């Protein structure tokens, strides 16, 4: 099996413009088979646009992409049958009952597994005769998840599945996803800006920032690559020079707390030129890593900038 | 696919039920109010047409628009079916709902109307044709509704244009241009409309309603639909220009009349409501009582009573072409003793009992005299004819060789006139109670009701197939004016001059033909600025068609020149845009040909559906390049990857997979 066969999603230069503004720019993404791939980014960063392009729901402006080895411009019904897609608004036909939804979907999928459907329905405590339009948002998310999982898809694409859900419903959804990942050769590709549950679920992470991909790696690598640096000065900290990989800087009295990508000797040498009393590095928890990575990029966080402006 | 059809049926039956009830109620109302056959009555067909088309449009729109919510649409599309199958499932279900709501009540009415005793008028299965045309026309509107709901475009622009395109097809199905027999016109246009909108909808399904990514045939259908809509809009622009330039839509209307004294007058009813009545020398006509210039109201009192007659020496097709759906099948004659008599297109008179509504009797030409002969269309006295109100039990009818007086009480036919050998009758009609006039190829004769000649005259027909004839009764004993004119088929070739009547013969019982006057041509249409402006919006292609069919059509030729000039400008502009946005040579040539045929409407449609990608400065050659090409069209450089800010974390996720650049 070649490396390309190992990929369930493979894009090269995938780009989508909305007018003159790029929604997704030159995306080169490889999603390996098996495991959970988290696709992160702030609102409007291009996550949903990417997913809609991958599923043939939106025409790319340029670039190429394959999903399960099939060109996204020519997705066949057979390929679609192998992909489960859960949308962020959890839309189903409101007039159908939970049971009718299952019966309706089951007629399209040859590998429909009613046990999975019933299992997820029970997990979310859904009444089979309840109309979909009368379900709460969390319940509807459960129904949609059941409809997405029951065809036993090889690749599950979830577009911000926990959006708008309460913590209990979100936990239920995440647990169901974990249950699926225990099955061999199943891949989950999900976009989110909820980072709380990421550590429990994701194996890989890709980060989109303003339509450009900034990171694509294993979750551990992501965490390892970001370091917190505390720089202690004798008095008021001086202006920082341009530091490569600097994500965030916060001032606390006479010390600065920096979050840097790939902190190395060069970075330390640069900081030493400021004549600090002490430089101390420490790992960062994933949540802080992601917040800093998704936040405003630059030498200082926007919070600090504002505080300094007022002082 | 069956599951999807069932789902669509379940979702859209809510439209079928009220549609079915409203339509059934309408049909029942028409049925109970109708005195004659409703299937061919314009009073019935008009509302039926409106309801069918409106229902089709609403059904199509509602079938797709509520589902266009982004995520619900994804839920529909992302399943193991092709987009074509999803489109077919929707279309099949939609058409089934349409058939249930509109077809079943219509079918019921046809069955009821076909049964004897329902309506006191003739029925034949061909009368189902008008309804048979209305029903599938609803499918055209249905697909237009689907397309309108599906397109991701502005309501006031290329989305709303679909509605106008459907209206245009609907109008084309009803209009009968030169050379196209009415029978074929409607089915051809309906099928063309269904194919056009269905193909465009199918294309829109493939690309989730956007123009980009559509298959070629779908895109072509969308372009054509928009061009059709824009053409109608362009033609309507003349009305707008007319109102803007002249403040009114009315134009002068000119015609000829004759007074009881035998003075031929030219009457001009002007756009501002005033009128001008002059004799042929151009002098104003004085009112004989007041000696002042006669007004239109005064003039009406002076006009001699006229008896128009449509004369057709062939298969009566030219007369038929002028008629409404009902009068194509039968003409109402008279009611005598509770029996209502109709002339039927089979060439006989059919009498229906008005109380039982059953066929009472049929009268044919006397078979012992004229076997297999049939009556030509009955041409009754005009409603303005004062003699019309008199109750007479006989009617004057003609066959190809004879004129008959048909006694409806005794149900017998009596020959009043026989054409000379080698001659053929084109039409006959009564002239009040004074007698009847008969027109053969060589002669026009007037006889009294005993068949005694009052006058006759030879004439030279300006059209061998059919002519207009009008007999005006003048003051004085047995003095008449006979108006002659080429029939519509000959007259329509001249779009500038109107020659409804070109000649007037003055005849009397004593001396036959007294004199004859040739009438000047009336100016039919004065092409003004609004005409020239609207000519810019007309595609050259249909004008080429008219130009081939019409002889000596100077106005059409001029119109074609203006339209084609505009088309050349559009083709050049399209070529320039094609170069700017890097179309292939083949695509540019195809568009140029299209622009030459479709003119300005085609060009606007091209602008609407074509992808117009953003252009950015190439960092390598510094020229503007389109963003939808992988490489710069000027220097061949690829797009630069996104600028790095030093925070990138990339890692090869699988073996041999290159780490991100």
- Minimum CA–CA partner of A21 in chain B: B614
Domain spanning B306-523: which CATH class is it, in words? mainly beta
Closest Cβ–Cβ partner in B614, B645, B653 for A32: B653
Per-residue confidence (pLDDT) for residue B582, from 0 to 100: 84
pLDDT, averaged across chain A:
84
CA–CA gap between residue B653 and residue B258 (Å, rounded): 99
Point out the domain boundary residue: A156, A175, A210. A210
**Same domain, residue pair A163 and A198:** yes
Mutate to test the interface with A, among B649, B650, B658 (most CBs of A within 10 A): B649
**Same domain, residue pair A206 and A245:** no
Residue A217 lies in a domain: no
Per-residue confidence (pLDDT) for residue B475, from 0 to 100: 87
> Residue A259 in contact with residue A292, Cβ under 8 Å?
yes
Strand partners, B48: none
Residue A2 lies in a domain: no
Assign A183 a pLDDT band (cuts: 50, 70, 90): low
Q: What is the largest CA-CA distance in chain A?
A: 72
**Same domain, residue pair A140 and A259:** no
- What CATH number is attached to the domain comprising A188? 3.40.50.300
Per DSSP, A160 falls in state: S
Per-residue confidence (pLDDT) for residue A112, from 0 to 100: 92
Other C-beta atoms closer than 10 Å to the C-beta of B117 total: 11
Report helix, strand or coil for A291.
helix
Residue A215 lies in a domain: no
Mutate to test the interface with B, among A34, A79, A85, A227 (most CBs of B within 10 A): A85
Query: Are residues B639 and A15, on separate chains, in Cβ contact within 8 Å?
Result: yes
Per-residue confidence (pLDDT) for residue A97, from 0 to 100: 94
**Same domain, residue pair A127 and A49:** yes
**Same domain, residue pair A69 and A185:** yes
Residue A183 lies in a domain: yes
**Same domain, residue pair A55 and A109:** yes
Residue A216 lies in a domain: no
Query: Are residues B639 and A88, on separate chains, in Cβ contact within 8 Å?
Result: no
**Same domain, residue pair A121 and A95:** yes
User: C-alpha B152: how far from its chain's center?
Assistant: 31
Strand partners, A157: A85, A189
CA–CA gap between residue A44 and residue B255 (Å, rounded): 70
Give chain B's residues under pLDDT 50.
176-181, 381-390, 655-661
CATH 2.120.10 positions along chain B are 306-523
Closest Cβ–Cβ partner in B70, B614, B655 for A20: B614
**Same domain, residue pair A168 and A263:** no
Other C-beta atoms closer than 10 Å to the C-beta of B270 total: 13
- Minimum CA–CA partner of B641 in chain A: A26
> Residue B416 in contact with residue B383, Cβ under 8 Å?
no
CB under 8 A, 24+ apart: contacts of B3-9: B3/A104, B3/A107, B3/A108, B4/B81, B4/B85, B4/B86, B4/B89, B4/B90, B4/B93, B5/B89, B5/B92, B5/B93, B5/B96, B7/A93, B7/A104, B8/B63, B8/B89, B8/B90, B8/B92, B8/B93, B8/B94, B9/B93, B9/B96, B9/B97
pTM of the model: 0.84
CA–CA gap between residue A57 and residue B573 (Å, rounded): 33
Q: Which residue has the tokens 């409806």?
A: B408
Query: Are residues B627 and A90, on separate chains, in Cβ contact within 8 Å?
Result: no
Query: What's the Rg (C-alpha) of chain A?
Result: 22
Give chain A positions within 8 Å (CB) of B73.
57
User: C-alpha B195: how far from its chain's center?
Assistant: 20
Mutate to test the interface with A, among B648, B655, B656 (most CBs of A within 10 A): B648
Q: How far is A30 from chain B (nearest CA, A)?
A: 7
Helices (H), ranges, B151-215: 160-174, 182-206
Residue A279 lies in a domain: yes
Query: Are residues B653 and A218, on separate chains, in Cβ contact within 8 Å?
Result: yes
- Minimum CA–CA partner of A104 in chain B: B3
Greater confidence, B133 or A302? B133
For residue A8, what are the CA distances in angstroms to A79, A192, A310?
A: 11, 19, 50
Q: What total of structural domains would you count in chain A?
A: 2
> Residue B198 in contact with residue B190, Cβ under 8 Å?
no
Residue A196 lies in a domain: yes
Query: Are residues A13 and B639, on separate chains, in Cβ contact within 8 Å?
Result: yes
CA–CA gap between residue A61 and residue A23 (Å, rounded): 10
Per-residue confidence (pLDDT) for residue B323, from 0 to 100: 58
Per-residue confidence (pLDDT) for residue A142, from 0 to 100: 87
Query: What's the domain range around A261?
Result: 222-310
pLDDT tens digits, one per residue of A185-230:
788 998 887 777 777 788 889 988 888 998 888 888 888 888 888 8
CA–CA gap between residue B338 and residue B409 (Å, rounded): 11
Strands A212-218 and B649-650: parallel
**Going by C-beta distance under 8 Å and a sequence separation of 6 or more, which residues neighbour residue B229?**
B161, B162, B163, B164, B165, B167, B168, B601
End-to-end CA distance of chain B: 45
> Residue B573 in contact with residue B629, Cβ under 8 Å?
no
Assign A9 a pLDDT band (cuts: 50, 70, 90): very high
Assign A282 a pLDDT band (cuts: 50, 70, 90): confident
**Same domain, residue pair A194 and A57:** yes
Closest Cβ–Cβ partner in A19, A28, A226 for B660: A28
CA–CA gap between residue A269 and residue B652 (Å, rounded): 29
Point out the domain boundary residue: A176, A210, A244. A210
**Same domain, residue pair A15 and A76:** yes
Query: Are residues B650 and A212, on separate chains, in Cβ contact within 8 Å?
Result: no
Per-residue confidence (pLDDT) for residue B430, from 0 to 100: 86
The pLDDT of A96-106, averaged and rounded, is 94
Residue A228 lies in a domain: yes
Per-residue confidence (pLDDT) for residue A72, from 0 to 100: 93
CA–CA gap between residue A156 and residue B372 (Å, rounded): 80
**Same domain, residue pair A13 and A89:** yes
Per-residue confidence (pLDDT) for residue B85, from 0 to 100: 94
Point out the domain boundary residue: A178, A210, A242. A210
The pair of structure tokens assigned to A136 is 């709460």
Question: What is the DSSP secondary-structure string of B429-475?
Answer: EEETTTEEEEEESSEEEEE-TTS-EEEEEE---SSSSEEEEEEEEPS
Report helix, strand or coil for A24.
strand
Greater confidence, B482 or A291? B482
- Minimum CA–CA partner of A87 in chain B: B71
């Amino acid at each position: 099996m070649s490396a390309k066969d190992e990929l369930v999603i493979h894009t090269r230069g995938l780009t989508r413009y909305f007018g003159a503004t790029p929604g997704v720019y030159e995306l080169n993404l490889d999603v390996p088979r098996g495991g959970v791939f988290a696709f992160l980014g702030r609102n409007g960063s291009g996550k949903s646009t990417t997913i809609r392009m991958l599923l043939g729901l939106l025409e790319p402006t340029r670039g190429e992409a394959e999903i399960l080895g099939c060109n996204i411009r020519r997705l066949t019904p057979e390929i679609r049958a192998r992909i489960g897609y859960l949308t962020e608004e959890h839309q189903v036909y409101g007039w159908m009952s939970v049971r009718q939804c299952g019966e309706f979907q089951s007629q399209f999928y040859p590998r429909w597994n009613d046990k999975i459907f019933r299992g997820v329905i029970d997990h979310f405590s859904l009444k089979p005769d309840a109309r979909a339009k009368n379900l709460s948002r969390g319940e509807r998310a459960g129904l949609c998840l059941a409809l997405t999982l029951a065809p036993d898809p090889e690749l599950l694409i979830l577009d911000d599945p926990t959006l708008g859900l309460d913590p209990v419903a979100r936990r239920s959804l995440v647990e169901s996803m974990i249950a699926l990942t225990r099955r061999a050769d199943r891949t989950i590709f999900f976009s989110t800006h909820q980072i709380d549950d990421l550590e429990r679920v994701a194996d890989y992470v890709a980060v989109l920032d303003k339509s450009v991909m900034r990171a694509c790696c294993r979750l551990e690598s992501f965490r390892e690559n970001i370091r917190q640096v505390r720089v202690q000065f004798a008095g008021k900290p001086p202006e920082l020079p341009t530091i490569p990989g600097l994500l965030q800087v916060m001032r606390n009295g006479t010390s600065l707390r920096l979050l840097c990508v790939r902190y190395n000797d060069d970075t330390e040498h640069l900081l030493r030129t400021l004549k600090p009393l002490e430089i101390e590095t420490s790992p960062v928890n994933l949540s802080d890593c992601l917040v800093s990575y998704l936040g405003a990029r630059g030498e200082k966080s926007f919070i600090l900038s504002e505080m300094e402006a007022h002082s | 696919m069956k599951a999807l059809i069932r789902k669509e049926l379940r979702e859209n039956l809510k439209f079928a039920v009220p549609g079915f009830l409203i339509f059934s109620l309408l049909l029942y109302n028409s049925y109970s109010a109708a005195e004659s056959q409703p299937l061919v009555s314009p009073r019935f067909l008009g509302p039926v047409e409106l309801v069918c088309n409106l229902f089709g449009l609403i059904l199509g729109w509602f079938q797709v628009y509520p589902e266009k919510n982004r995520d619900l649409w994804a839920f529909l599309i992302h399943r193991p079916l092709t987009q074509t199958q999803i489109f077919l499932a929707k279309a099949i279900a939609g058409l089934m709902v349409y058939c249930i709501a509109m077809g079943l009540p219509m079918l019921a009415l046809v069955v009821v109307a076909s049964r004897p005793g329902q309506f006191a008028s003739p029925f034949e299965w061909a009368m189902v044709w008008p309804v048979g045309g209305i029903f599938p026309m609803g499918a055209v509107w249905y697909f237009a509704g689907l397309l309108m709901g599906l397109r991701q475009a502005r309501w006031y622009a290329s989305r709303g244009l679909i509605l106008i395109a459907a209206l245009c097809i609907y109008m084309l199905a009803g209009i009968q241009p030169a050379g196209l027999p009415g029978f074929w016109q409607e089915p051809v246009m309906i099928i063309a409309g269904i194919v056009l909108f269905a193909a465009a909808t199918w294309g829109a399904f493939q690309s989730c309603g956007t123009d980009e990514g559509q298959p070629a045939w779908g895109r072509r259908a969308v372009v054509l639909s928009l061009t059709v809509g824009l053409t109608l809009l362009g033609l309507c622009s003349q009305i707008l220009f007319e109102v803007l330039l002249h403040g009114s839509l009315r134009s002068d209307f000119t015609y000829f009349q004759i007074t009881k004294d035998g003075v031929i007058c030219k009457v001009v009813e002007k756009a501002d409501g005033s009128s001008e009545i002059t004799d042929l020398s151009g002098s104003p006509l004085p009112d004989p009582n007041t000696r002042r210039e006669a007004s239109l109201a005064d003039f009406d009192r002076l006009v001699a009573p006229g008896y128009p007659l449509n004369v057709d020496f062939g298969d009566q097709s030219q007369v038929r072409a002028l008629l409404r759906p009902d009068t194509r099948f039968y003409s109402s004659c008279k009611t005598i003793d509770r029996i209502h008599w109709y002339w039927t297109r089979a060439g006989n008179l059919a009498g229906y009992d008005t109380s039982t509504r059953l066929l009472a009797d049929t009268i044919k030409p006397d078979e012992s005299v004229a076997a297999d002969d049939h009556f030509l269309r009955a041409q009754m006295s005009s409603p303005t004819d004062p003699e019309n109100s008199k109750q007479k039990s006989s009617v004057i009818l003609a066959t190809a060789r004879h004129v008959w007086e048909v006694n409806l009480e005794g149900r017998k036919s009596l020959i009043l006139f026989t054409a000379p050998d080698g001659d053929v009758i084109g039409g006959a009609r009564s002239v009040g109670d004074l007698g009847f006039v008969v027109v053969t190829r060589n002669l026009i004769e007037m006889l009294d009701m005993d068949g005694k000649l009052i006058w006759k005259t030879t004439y030279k027909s300006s059209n061998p197939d059919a002519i207009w004839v009008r007999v005006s009764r003048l003051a004085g004993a047995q003095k008449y004016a006979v108006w002659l004119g080429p029939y519509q088929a000959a007259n329509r070739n001249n779009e500038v001059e109107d020659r409804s009547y070109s000649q007037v013969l003055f005849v009397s019982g004593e001396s036959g033909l007294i004199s004859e006057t040739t009438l000047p041509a009336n100016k039919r249409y004065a092409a003004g600025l609004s005409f020239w402006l609207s000519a810019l919006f007309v595609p050259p292609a249909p004008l080429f068609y008219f130009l081939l069919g019409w002889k000596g059509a100077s106005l059409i030729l001029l119109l074609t020149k203006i339209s084609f000039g505009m088309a050349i400008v559009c083709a050049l502009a399209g070529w320039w845009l094609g170069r700017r946005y890097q179309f292939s040579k083949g695509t540019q040539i195809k568009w140029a040909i299209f622009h030459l045929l479709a003119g300005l409407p085609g060009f606007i449609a091209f602008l609407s559906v074509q992808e117009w990608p953003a252009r950015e400065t190439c960092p390598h050659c510094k020229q503007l390049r389109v963003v939808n090409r992988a490489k710069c069209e000027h220097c061949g450089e690829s797009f630069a990857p996104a600028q790095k800010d030093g925070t990138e974390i990339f890692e090869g996720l699988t073996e041999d997979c290159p780490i991100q650049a």
